[in-house]
């Protein structure tokens, strides 16, 4: 099936356009110049930018003989929705020397972008890695089918185990835990003695070593990477993939200079053990495995020393002592190493601030020091419910985009929004600072034409004018400030209702949600059912506000949700601005810190109804966390999605992307 990139509708493979929204399924738009480009083209013919979907193929051959590349599995009958071609893409004579333009799979989907080398046929296990172009990027892969069937309970874990090649299983396990440091797996198959795994292509991501060499890289930044390596060590230890951290060329940086792995490496076995496993000599293999020398944290110290050596940087302060203690064995566990890193944190005067502990199945992307539980083999247990020390964070960018739309059924738009930001930026060779404040307001009016429209606009302007006068000295407004702004907006609408002698349903009103950002501090206030969501890579999508409606009121009183929302008036608002005086409203106000890259979504109910964002956040919101993603386009896509899925009401969305980084004081460098 073909998954529409716009609305995610499932289309037959033969379709050229989406049956649901009409989007092309054979072409896409070049991000650089806007030219329409065929999906099977690696580059845009107009500007030359790479726009094709490229994967990194890891091809492993065991035993002797040439490459055997072809089908997903020997039994193809289990995947009727993904018909395989009846012929190999290459003849048997050609197969040992696959060249550029050849396909590595039987379906002729993955095209080589570089020649595939011929390896020694007598080697017990050989591996090569190449970039391949996905000429059918909208087609769901067999691996994705298996994982989705397993999630829906259509496939037992044992069946999944048998269908996924062993080389791919570690990627799959890590992917289910949403670990951003490790690459996403797309597809995998095995044909006879050859396994192929396709993962996210990170070959052009910058090397850690390259930035390590930069004179402007401070000691605190290096310490930050140390933290992340110890985190990855703890996560990868039970999966026997710690070797992934020990290959310098495998240590990459993402756009936020966060440590990432280009791929996974299994911890090496001795040659005798490999032979025993390959020949199925189980007793011999078991004996050899017991005599294997396990990896220790000394290996981490060796990597750090190599980074200093190749970058020609001088080891600093207590790090030098840590490296010596790792070498002679005075530090033997990651827990001990963590304690020593805490000591360096104190030495470099890193702020000790409260931080939530990573919850189960979450990898901490912030530079958190994790207490390890040496008695547990569960990955998630190694980063659970423990005190942490983190580097203080500073804002590195603040971007936003907003749009409102009348929807498909309404004749006029009663939604209104306002965005006001101020950014002061200082950038010097050894110092970079960003100070920012942002005010984001969204209202959904009620009261009909010339009622709801007036109320929502009046509320937005009243709140804006209040903070223009009462937000000073780079200090986040207080709870009293937030409440006063809301009460003033309510009073402005209430007085207009009284002046015009409006009564009953004729009294105009509006919902209100306010997001206020001061550097890495934020506040939210709301009345009604317009919402604020927060999306982070660590926590996923969170609804930050609770709707003021009858159903939620009943749940707060202890009523079962199914009963509370079985009421005919379950979605009736219990609070709104304007119909009554301030004694009838009690705005919710919350404060929080921004300690990791975050995308905030302010949404009217035309966007949030029917769990639209909860159902589509991975496809329509998660990519927008990336600095390279266009927020204006993201807002437009959300509006289009809401019109397709809902469309019964006005639709308004504001997206705010706040990127943060460790506060690297240049004096520590």
Grouping H, G, I as helix, E, B as strand and the rest as coil, residue 113 is: coil
pTM of the model: 0.66
Beta bridge partners of 417: 442
Average pLDDT over residues 412-432: 84
Question: Percent of the chain beyond pLDDT 70?
Answer: 78
- Residues 621 and 638: their CA atoms lie apart, in Å, by 9
pLDDT band for position 411 (cuts 50, 70, 90):
confident
Contact indicator for 383, 358 with CB cutoff of 8 Å:
yes
What digits encode the pLDDT tens for the residues 233-262?
A: 988 999 899 999 999 999 999 887 889 999
What is the SS3 assignment for 96-142?
HHCCCCCECCCCCCEEECCCCCCCCCCCCEEEEEEEEEECCCCECCH
Average pLDDT over residues 298-326: 89
What digits encode the pLDDT tens for the residues 554-587?
A: 999 999 988 998 998 988 999 999 999 999 999 9
pLDDT band for position 8 (cuts 50, 70, 90):
confident
Contact indicator for 65, 74 with CB cutoff of 8 Å:
no
What digits encode the pLDDT tens for the residues 428-484?
A: 655 667 889 999 999 999 976 668 999 999 999 999 999 999 997 778 899 999 999
What digits encode the pLDDT tens for the residues 330-371?
A: 998 888 887 787 777 666 654 333 333 333 333 333 333 323
Average pLDDT over residues 14-36: 86
DSSP 597: -
Q: Which residue has the higher pLDDT, 207 or 74?
A: 207
- Residues 136 and 566: their CA atoms lie apart, in Å, by 45
Check whether 275 has a pLDDT greater than 50. no
Among candidates 215, 218, 225, 220, which has minimal Cα distance to 253? 225
- Residues 642 and 613: their CA atoms lie apart, in Å, by 9
Among candidates 575, 615, 565, 611, which has minimal Cα distance to 489? 575
The residue length of the chain stands at 669
* CA 292 to mean position of chain CA atoms: 37
pLDDT given at position 372: 29
Q: How far does the chain reach from its first CA to its final CA, in angstroms?
A: 53
Starting at the edge strand that comes first in sequence, how are the strands of the sheet with 598-603 ordered? 393-405, 651-662, 598-603, 531-536, 540-543
Any alpha helices (H) in 1-83, and if so which ranges? none
Grouping H, G, I as helix, E, B as strand and the rest as coil, residue 594 is: coil
- Residues 306 and 658: their CA atoms lie apart, in Å, by 35
Q: Tokens 């002592």 map to which residue?
A: 321
**Which domains are assigned to the chain?**
1-38 (no CATH), 52-200 (no CATH), 208-391 (no CATH), 394-543+575-668 (3.60.40.10)
Tally the C-alpha atoms within 13 A of residue 19's C-alpha that lie toward its C-beta: 10
Measured CA to CA in angstroms, residue 318 lies from 259, 343, 364 at distances of 22, 8, 25
Report the mean per-residue pLDDT for the chain: 80
What digits encode the pLDDT tens for the residues 155-196?
A: 665 655 567 888 898 998 888 776 668 899 999 998 878 899
pLDDT band for position 415 (cuts 50, 70, 90):
very high
* Neighbour tally for 315: CB within 10 Å: 18
Tokens at 406, concatenated: 């009348």
pLDDT given at position 256: 76
pLDDT band for position 225 (cuts 50, 70, 90):
confident
What digits encode the pLDDT tens for the residues 502-545?
A: 877 778 999 999 999 999 999 999 999 999 999 998 889 999 99
Q: Which residue has the higher pLDDT, 367 or 119?
A: 119
pLDDT band for position 287 (cuts 50, 70, 90):
very low
Q: Which residue has the higher pLDDT, 123 or 608?
A: 608
Contact indicator for 371, 386 with CB cutoff of 8 Å:
yes
Contact indicator for 650, 416 with CB cutoff of 8 Å:
no
pLDDT given at position 72: 40
pLDDT given at position 293: 60
Q: Which residue has the higher pLDDT, 647 or 279?
A: 647
């Amino acid at each position: 099936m073909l998954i529409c990139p716009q609305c995610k509708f499932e289309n037959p493979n033969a379709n050229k356009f989406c049956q649901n929204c009409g989007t092309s399924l054979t072409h896409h738009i070049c991000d650089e110049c806007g030219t329409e480009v065929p999906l099977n083209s690696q580059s845009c013919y107009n500007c030359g930018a790479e726009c094709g979907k490229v994967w990194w193929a890891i091809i492993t051959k065991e035993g002797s003989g040439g490459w055997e590349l072809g089908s997903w599995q020997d039994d193809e009958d289990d995947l009727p929705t993904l018909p395989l071609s009846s012929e190999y893409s290459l003849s048997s004579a050609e197969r040992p020397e696959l060249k550029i333009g050849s396909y590595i799979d039987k379906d002729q989907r993955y095209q080589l972008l570089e020649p595939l080398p011929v390896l020694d046929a007598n080697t017990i296990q050989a591996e090569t890695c190449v970039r391949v172009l996905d000429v059918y990027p909208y087609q769901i892969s067999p691996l994705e089918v298996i994982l989705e069937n397993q999630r829906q309970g259509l496939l037992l874990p044992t069946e999944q185990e048998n269908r996924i090649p062993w080389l791919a299983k570690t990627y799959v396990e890590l992917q289910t835990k949403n670990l951003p440091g490790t690459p996403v797996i797309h597809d995998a198959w095995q044909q006879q003695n050859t396994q192929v795994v396709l993962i996210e292509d990170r070959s052009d991501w910058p090397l850690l070593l390259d930035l390590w060499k930069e004179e402007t890289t401070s000691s605190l930044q290096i310490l930050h990477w140390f933290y992340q390596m110890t985190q990855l060590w703890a996560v990868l230890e039970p999966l026997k993939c710690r070797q992934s951290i020990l290959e310098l060329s495998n240590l990459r940086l993402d756009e936020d200079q966060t440590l990432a792995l280009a791929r996974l490496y299994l911890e090496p076995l001795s040659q005798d053990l490999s032979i025993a496993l390959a020949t199925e000599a189980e007793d011999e293999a078991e004996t050899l495995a017991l005599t294997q020398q396990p990896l220790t944290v000394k290996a981490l110290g060796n990597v750090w020393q190599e980074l200093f050596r190749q970058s020609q940087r001088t080891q600093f302060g207590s790090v030098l002592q840590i490296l010596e203690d790792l070498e002679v064995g005075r530090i033997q566990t990651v827990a001990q190493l963590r304690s020593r890193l805490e000591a360096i944190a104190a030495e470099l005067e890193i702020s000790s601030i409260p931080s939530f502990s990573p919850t189960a199945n979450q990898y901490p992307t912030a530079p958190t020091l994790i207490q390890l539980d040496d008695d547990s083999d569960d990955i998630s247990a190694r980063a659970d419910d423990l005190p942490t020390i983190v580097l203080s964070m500073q804002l590195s960018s603040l971007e936003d985009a907003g749009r409102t739309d009348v929807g498909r059924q309404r004749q006029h738009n009663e939604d209104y929004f306002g965005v006001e930001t101020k950014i002061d930026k200082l950038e010097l060779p050894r110092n970079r600072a960003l100070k920012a404040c942002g005010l984001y307001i969204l209202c959904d009016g009620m009261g009909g034409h010339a009622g709801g429209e007036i109320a929502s606009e009046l509320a937005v302007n009243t709140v804006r004018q209040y903070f223009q006068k009462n937000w000073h000295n780079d200090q986040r407004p207080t709870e009293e400030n937030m409440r006063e702004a809301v009460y003033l907006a309510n009073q402005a609408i209430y007085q207009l209702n009284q002046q015009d002698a409006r009564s009953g349903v004729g009294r105009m009103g509006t919902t209100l949600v306010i997001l206020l950002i001061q550097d890495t501090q934020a506040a939210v206030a709301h009345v009604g059912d317009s919402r604020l969501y927060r999306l982070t890579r660590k926590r996923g999508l969170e609804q930050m506000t609770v709707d003021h409606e009858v159903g939620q009121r009943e749940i707060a009183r202890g009523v079962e949700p199914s009963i509370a929302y079985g009421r005919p008036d379950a979605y009736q608002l219990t609070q709104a601005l304007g119909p009554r005086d301030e004694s009838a409203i009690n705005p919710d106000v919350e404060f929080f810190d921004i300690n990791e890259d975050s995308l905030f979504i302010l949404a009217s109910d035309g966007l949030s109804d029917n769990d639209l964002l909860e159902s589509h956040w991975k496809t329509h919101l998660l990519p927008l966390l990336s600095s390279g993603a266009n927020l204006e386009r993201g807002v437009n896509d959300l509006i289009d999605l809401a019109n397709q899925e809902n469309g019964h009401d006005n639709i308004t969305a504001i997206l705010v992307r706040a990127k943060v980084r460790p506060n690297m004081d240049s004096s520590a460098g």
